[in-house]
Structure 1
Amino acid sequence: MVASPNFRRIEGLIQSHPSQDGDGVHIQRIHRFDGELDPFLMLDELGSDRPDDYIGGFPPHPHRGMQTLTYILHGGITHEDHLGHSSTIQAGDAQWMHTGRGIVHSEMPLTDSQGLHGFQLWLNLPARDKMSEPRYRDVRSDEMPRLELQQAVLIALGGSWSSVAGERICGPLEHLAGEGAIAHALIEAGGELMLEAGSETLAVYVFEGNLQIAGESVAAGQLARLGSGDTLALASREGAQCLLLAGTPHREPIAHYGPFVMNHTHEIEQALRDYRNGSFTG
């Protein structure tokens, strides 16, 4: 006898909220520095066809103790940092940054005929890696494998993803904090996507259309935090797009102040001192 699937069901819905960051960039933000989405800390969605909403970009600023992943659907982002990296990603590309003990960078938006649409995720580094060497990588769209089913496509940015039929793909980003796995799913009207999903943390952020997860609806701009199980069942009556976030919690204390994410307040205070006295990037 074949066992029935143990579906991941919605334990909570988190609504994104409008915010601004950098030089007045308009974003939709979800932040959870309380460990609810551990190892994920924050998800920003940048999306507008009005350049005034984003053209100021993110002038030079520091980070310590976390990773960022930027993924672009339309437009682009140019990155520069104190380590000498300078590059641009465009539609379908991603940038991964392991800030470690410290990096100072800027991110300046570019536009195309559809404006700018992209995402930035923050992932928490475990205590052992918070003062590690900073690293950086661009990932081009043609490096990202696709799982193409009859009415759905899964694009793997990082981590391993498998359909219930046994088809498996692995994204090019292999060193995401917390054994992180990130993918972009596109589901046609009337389509469905069934995935193996054993990661302890699993969340789905819908950014287009309306999605059903094990029969429960999630609207655009909402993130669904899922309970335990081994199968993820996604479907859409009208068509939908979403980001899938999976990982293993660190279960460590989180101390957060602006661009710094450490374990304890005294480490935040040290990061501020280092930045102010010029030793941050030394």
Structure 2
Amino acid sequence: MNATSRRRFLLQSGLLVAAAAVGCRRSESPAVLLTSHRNVVQTLEGIPATDGAGVRLTRVIGQPALRNLDPFLMLDRFHSDDPGAYIRGFPSHPHRGFETVTVMLDGRMRHRDSRGNSGLIAGGGSQWMTAGRGIIHSEMPEQVQGLMSGFQLWLNLPAKEKLCPPAYQDHTPAQLAEERLSPAGSRARVIAGHMNGLQGPVRERPTQPLLLTLSLEDDRPFELDTPSDHTAFAFVSSGEVDLGPEDASKPVREGSLALLGPGSRLRVRARNRRSELLIAAARPLREPIVQYGPFVMNTRAEIQQAFEDYRAGVLDKG
């Protein structure tokens, strides 16, 4: 994505809405804007990457074509039934200045951190970790064979919250808000935020995120509410779907991320009988982003301080 197309997307998606709004006329109807459907602005695929101790994955957000999508910093997709692709896991490593979300579709992963937290993330479950001022954690597989499949999403924190106390919560499938969407078994699972009256277990986060998974078993269309001023995307992990209003929908195939324009509704229809996707929306921060490895702050000086605190053994203290 070159600079021109990047700016075009930012304008279309509402990330530069403050600048664009200056030219709005009083005669324009806010109600029309608030009830509009989100369109697919652009699609892109991830690139092969490795992380941790050699875990093979696909990097979707955080790659050269899409460094970040304010406030989303990274989206990784992992999916393999080859133990060699995941068995070495993610040994102890630090974080500061953002939140991580792990969504497990299949497999078992154990979390341990320097705050004494430990939790098992199994298929259908999720984990939400706020690194805040600093945490050191590991994520290691609790299986030696079989399928390991899921996502990890990094979500930025505003400057005033970057040094907040660390926090951790994990959720089993039963703790997620679930709605059956069709007699064929289609369902939505809400991890964070509100969707069509459902409230996910993760609440009151600084970026007011909406995060959910959809499993579609038929081609019956489904619509969901999205906060109109949020950055939003959808990632198709299996199958193929149409996204957008019925008269202007676009197909999005497996392994592709759809960048979504502004609007308060999203229409989804499976093109394949079985399709799965991750949908995310969050309030953009519009703040400087300085990232170096596992630290995400607003200035280079803050990054340097994070490294000094880590070397001194005080990153997660205080």
**Superposition TM-score tier, normalisation by shorter sequence:** over 0.9
State the Cα deviation string for residues 94-114 of structure 1 (Å, max 9, x = none).
Answer: 111100000001110133874
Which stretch has the larger CA shift, 224-233 or 57-66? 224-233
User: Is residue 276 of structure 1 aligned with residue 311 of structure 2?
Assistant: yes
Identity %: 38
For the residue of structure 2 that corresponds to 1:178, the secondary structure is: coil
* Distance in 2 of aligned mates of 1:55 and 1:32: 23
Kept in 1, the 8 Å contact 2:239–2:271? The answer is: no
- Determine which structure has more spread, i.e. the larger CA radius of gyration: 2
The answer to whether the 8 Å contact 1:187/1:193 transfers is no
Q: Which residue of 2 aligns with 1:137?
A: 169
Query: Given the alignment of the two structures, is residue 180 of structure 1 paired with residue 209 of structure 2, yes or no?
Result: yes
| Cα distance in 2, alignment partners of residues 194 and 112 from structure 1 | 39
- The 2-side partners of 1:112 and 1:195 are apart by 38
- The answer as to whether partners of 2:192 and 2:199 remain within 8 angstroms in 1 is yes
Aligned counterparts of 2:234 and 2:89: Cα–Cα separation in 1: 27
Following superposition, the deviation at residue 6 of structure 1 comes to 2.3
Give the count of matched residue pairs.
Answer: 275
Q: 1:198 to 1:281 in 2, by over 3 A?
A: closer
2:251 corresponding residue in structure 1: 217
Partner deviation per Cα, 1:10-39 (whole Å, 9 max, x = no partner) = 112131111000110001112249785211
Q: Note if contact 2:61-2:67 (Cα within 8 Å) is conserved in structure 1.
A: no
Tell me the TM-score normalised to structure 1 length.
0.92
Alignment TM-score, normalising by the size of structure 2:
0.82
Matched, 1:118 2:150: yes
Cα distance in 2 between the residues matched to 1:193 and 1:100: 36
Deviates more, 1:235-244 or 1:52-61: 235-244
| Residue 269 (structure 2) pairs with residue 235 (structure 1) | yes
Q: Indicate whether 1:93 and 2:125 are aligned.
A: yes
Say whether the 8 Å CA contact 1:82–1:103 is kept in structure 2.
Answer: yes
Greater fraction helix:
2
Q: Extract unaligned runs of 5+ from structure 1.
A: 163-167
**Cα distance in 1, alignment partners of residues 240 and 50 from structure 2:** 25
Inter-partner Cα distance in structure 1 for 2:278 and 2:50 = 21
- Cα separation, 2, equivalents of 1:254 and 1:55: 32
Q: Which amino acid aligns with 1:262?
A: M
Counterpart-to-counterpart distance in 2, 1:114 and 1:278? 37
Written as runs of structure 1 = structure 2, the 5 A alignment for 1:1-282 is: 6-32=36-62, 37-111=69-143, 114-150=146-182, 152-162=186-196, 168-199=197-228, 200-214=230-244, 215-238=249-272, 239-282=274-317
Q: What secondary structure sits across from 1:274 in the alignment?
A: helix
Secondary structure at the aligned position of 2:305 is classed as helix
Contact 2:72 2:154 in 1 (8 A): yes
**Structure 1's 112 and 90: CA in aligned 2 closer, same or farther, altered over 3 A?**
farther
What SS does the corresponding residue of 2:239 show, helix, strand or coil?
strand
The Cα of 1:247 is off from its aligned counterpart by: 1.0
Following superposition, the deviation at residue 43 of structure 1 comes to: 0.8
Measured after TM superposition, the shift of residue 185 of structure 1 is 0.6
- Post-superposition CA distance 1:200-232 (Å, at most 9, x none): 211101100011112201111111111112220
Whole-Å separation in 2 of the counterparts to 1:71 and 1:174: 16
Q: Cα–Cα, structure 1 residues 110 and 192, in superposed 2: closer, same or farther, change >3 Å? A: farther
Quick one: distance in 2 between partners of 1:112 and 1:197? 39
CA distance in 1, matches of 2:68, 2:259: 9
Residue 110 of structure 1 contacts residue 116 of structure 1 at CA under 8 Å; is this kept in 2?
Answer: no
Contact 1:27 1:44 in 2 (8 A): yes
Query: Which runs of 5 or more residues in structure 2 are unaligned?
Result: 1-31
Q: Once superposed, what is the RMSD of the aligned Cα atoms?
A: 1.9
How far 1:241 sits from its partner (Å)? 0.5
